Amino acid sequence: GENVEQHPSTLSVQEGDSAVIKCTYSDSASNYFPWYKQELGKGPQLIIDIRSNVGEKKDQRIAVTLNKTAKHFSLHITETQPEDSAVYFCAASKGAGSYQLTFGKGTKLSVIP
């Protein structure tokens, strides 16, 4: 089955700096890659996603890049703010027919004011 590795497990950045979280996946048939943000005591919230026919996607301060050949994808957050502090999860799925997601173990991001 699919295996998703996520790094780093913790990340601290100064407010205004950029943060990068990286994930690798094992199943070359995976074609859908969402990122979720989970704040304390809440469920994960989808923040951005990318499909395998696209190499990069951007939404304001957040961007995701995908390298299908290397089977890795990354989340980039620019101009970080304290409210970006949360646990971020990457995931992968084969998409069609089922969005059963395989998740990474998460990255705890702390943005220091």
In whole angstroms, the minimum distance from the beta carbon of 45 to other proteins comes to: 7
Which of 15, 17, 28, 105 binds other proteins (CB under 8 A)? It is 105
Show contacts with other proteins in window 14-43 (CB under 8 A).
32, 34, 36, 41-43
70 binds other proteins (CB under 8 A): no
- Which of the stretches 13-21, 53-61, 71-79, 99-107 binds other proteins when contact is defined by CB under 8 A? 99-107
When asked if residue 10 is in the footprint of other proteins (CB under 8 A), the reply is: no
Q: Residue 45 has which token pair? A: 């919230």
Q: What's the angle, vertex CA 9, arms to CA 21 and CA 38, rounded to 5?
A: 75
> Is the peptide bond between 8 and the residue preceding it cis, with omega within 30 degrees of 0?
yes
- The binding site for other proteins (CB under 8 A) comprises 4, 6, 32, 34, 36, 41-46, 49, 89, 91, 95-96, 98-106
